[in-house]
Amino acid sequence: MTYSEDVSLPLRQWRVTITEDLHHSASTALLSWRTFPCRADHWDEHRWFTFGGPAVLPITSQEALREALGAMAQEPWRLRRQA
């Protein structure tokens, strides 16, 4: 994907939150984004993703974080958290 300076893209802020569940050997990630200007308490959309296994938990190193972020990018994200 290339960037074209002719295209005016909106300024967006992204937030990634990872919650580790060591008891169930899984993590839940939340991806949120918002487009400026916006209210401080408003996010345009949220996507959830569950990944895990003992190989990536707990995240205690840069390599483990890289592996977790890579796992999040490999699967489709859901609009709502699934139980």
pLDDT at 55: 59
Given a cut of 50, whether residue 11 has pLDDT beyond it is yes
pLDDT at 74: 80
For residue range 27-58, list pLDDT tens digits in order.
888 889 899 888 888 888 888 888 766 555 68
Q: Rounded to whole angstroms, how far apart are CA atoms 36 and 12?
A: 6
The domain limits of the chain are 12-74
CATH class of domain segment(s) 12-74: alpha beta
> Position of tokens 């996010």?
43
